[in-house]
Amino acid sequence: MPHVAALYRYPVKGFTPETPDSLFVQPDGRIRGDRVLAFRFGNAVEPLIRDGLNYWPKAEGLAMQDFPGIGPLQLRFDEEQQRLHIQHNGDVLVDAGLDEKGRALLCDRVAAYVLETPEGERLREPDRLPLALIGDGHTSQFQDRPRGFVSVHGRGSVLALGEALGREVDERRFRSNIAVEGLAPWDELQWAGRVRIGAAEFVVSHQIVRCLATHANPETGERDAPVMTTLTRTFGQEQPTLGTLLLPAGGTAEAGAAIHLGDQVEVLD
């Protein structure tokens, strides 16, 4: 039976994931504690509005798509203390709270790091500095799309991609919330209707078209694998696609639900 093999939550948009034993799916479709903070360019601290919802384009802040060098930063967020700890190669880059002084220090240290990466010139473009760390540390809001979704991929698909590339592929490249074991390659792309994961029920929304962020190694920050072109050329996809987006249904849409490691995954219709 297909089951949940790994869970991922990203407290800060674009940075290291946490790997908890459980996640809570909110009625709005977002994961509690997921992407509650974001490092934004100085000229992009207010959201755009799309379909009546706040929208924070990843191209207007630090994200793996344009700044793969942030991949090696190891992040730990203490939600209770509202404190952010970031390391690089085992050394503390910065550790600070989310008060005004702490946010300024976090932005200064992260900006200094990024400016020394190969993508540093991107950050020097007009009006991008100083960075701003935005978000209240509690509200999940900085996903790539205005609507809240839970993102899922099958490990079989990642394995098939790795075989085509001739190398092991770290599933963290895809920044999903849920990794499923026990599916044949690309099965999750065929889902339609409703899906149950543990006690949580969802309706399938759409497949995930991938961006340049997937080319970056999450350990080194180097773009070392042509994921997008391999998906289209080797697997004949019209667009580079891996993974599926889900929205809450039934009781999950009313009150939310928890998902745990080992939970069974079942396509209902």
Residue 198: CB atoms within 10 A of its CB come to 20
pLDDT computed for residue 44 by the predictor: 97
pLDDT tens per residue across span 206-264 = 999 999 999 999 999 999 999 999 999 999 999 999 999 999 999 999 999 999 999 99
- Which residue type is seen at 247? L
Domain boundaries, given as residue ranges, for the chain: 3-16+19-28+144-267, 38-134
Structure tokens at 93: 């880059």
Partners of residue 37 on adjacent β-strands: 12
Is 146:58 a contact under the CB 8 Å cutoff? no
- In the predicted model, residues of the chain with pLDDT beneath 50 are none
End-to-end Cα, the chain, rounded Å:
16
Measured CA distances, 85 to 34, 80, 127 (Å): 16, 13, 27
Percent residues over pLDDT 70 in the chain: 100
Q: What residues have CB less than 8 Å from 80, skipping those under 6 apart?
A: none
**89 three-state secondary structure:** coil
Structure tokens at 31: 């994961």
- Taking Cα atoms as reference points, which of 264, 265, 233 lies closest to residue 246? 265
Q: How would you classify the pairing of strands 83-88 and 257-260?
A: unpaired
pLDDT computed for residue 150 by the predictor: 97
pLDDT computed for residue 148 by the predictor: 85
Label residue 193 left, alpha or beta by phi (over 0 means left) and psi (-120 to 50 means alpha): left
Identify the CATH number of the domain defined by range 3-16+19-28+144-267.
2.40.33.20
